Structure 1
Amino acid sequence: MAHKHTHDNIDWPARLSSLRRADELDAPFAREVADRLVDLLGADAKPVIVDIGSGGGGMSAAFAGALAARGGGRIVLSDAVGELLEPATALVRDIAAGTTVEVDAVRADAASDQLADHLPPADLVWASRVVHHLPDQQAAIDGLARVLAPGGWLALSEGGLATRCLPWDLGIGEPGLGNRLTAARDTWFAGMRADMPGARSLPVGWNKVLEAAGLTGVSSFSYVIDHPAPASEAVRLSVVDWIAWMSGAGDDELSASDQATIARLLDPDDEAYAGARDDVFVLGASTVYLGHKPV
């Protein structure tokens, strides 16, 4: 079922369990990024961090830990999907219990022109893989910049390297399935944006978008997500989630042969079930773009 409170027509509540699994698996990487970003905010004040499109709450949890370690602050989760926002906020509040970190939640559409009216001025705005789901991406970044307090930072996690999970030859179907899944997802994504009401193209890199929003000192860094084989159970289940998501998004672009292979990989009763293979893995890279709001 599609949910009208998102622009991309994706049923995000149905993905909550997979989002949570990915957050738990990638928690050490998220904490490293959170520590790096919180270090930008100075040592004296208790900063305000706003997590736009907070999803399953994993990055907010990482920020809560980073804030607690430096003496406190405030984390505000914001999402358009209440079915995600409520459990994510509960998770982060549990993590922050007994610390000097305040946790709040604001349900809001990140594409709204009034976004800054609903959120506190932020020392750091974090937005991970949400802007590309919005119709006018430049306007959305402009809106995120307005949420920043003077001297605040926008950290935009977009792009990087596509995730790889599967051996080249699985022993069933044609070799190279992982590459075809990624290509099918990319075709679906282009179609999703083309069908989105009010969508506008963005023919420049993300650093140029931050500069156009009036931010200064624009830079970027990338970090690697690496869960190598032999795979733990958590990694294997995450790979099952990845196959299900990628194949569901790009189903129309996949051959009948590939669809049959995917059905076997997703069937716990099949000997080819991906969740029972310790030769799967998760390897990818994410890029974070940083911009500073002038004082």
Structure 2
Amino acid sequence: MLVLLPPSEGKAASGDGAPVDLGSLSLPELAAGRRAVLDALVGLCRGDEEQAAEVLGLSRGLRGEVARNAGLPEAGALPAGEVYTGVLFDNLGLAKLDAAAYARAERSLLVFSGLWGAVRIGDRIPPYRCSMGVKLPGIGALGTYWRTLMDAAVPAGDGLVLDLRSSAYAAAWKPAGEVAARTATVRVLHEREVDGVLKRSVVSHFNKATKGRLVRDLLNAAAEPAAPGELVDALTGLGYRVEVSARGTAKRAWQLDVVVDEIH
């Protein structure tokens, strides 16, 4: 099973290890692309601060991120699983997994990134600010840039691909052909009664929380579904209410709905 995750805007304040070693990161096919994006980002942030903030979409309160990006080559690095601190990763709770579950996470989780393309949770990277929606000078739109490199790099294997990325990060790699037919995406729906009628709505913040818990539960259960249908069975066995809203084809991944009646 390969699980594709988005990164989080929330990140650790700083790293405490040696600087990033691009040659040590997983998916070595992305090495040249990572160097090009890193150089472009650092060059941008060592220039005009106002321009850098505009390109990166930073508010006035986040201008300090420009200086942090400017120092990325020398900044201390942490395992990626410790760098990302947002809602999904908080609910995934990597630090609370036992050794066996954590080893499964290292093998199966792949986090997409505007700066690094994609990394494993054990890859050591410094905290940074660069979303997939950014258009970097000399690079262009990062989603488009990474898409040209990802087909040769993503280890899709021959089993289930569980794609939990947001739309911006999904743009960097789209499964096709037989890979699409064994890829499953997940939508979280909140079901509640309104004036005596059951209604469903898509949730955002709690979408991330539910996806984090879902991955945590699969890892803790040592679940290894090999196909989307087996994933439905595994999640149902773990207490989730799962419905298939679209079956996969050579052009489209499976779409699964996880229905919740409480959001927390």
* Structure (1 or 2) with the greater helix fraction: 1
TM-score by length of 1: 0.27
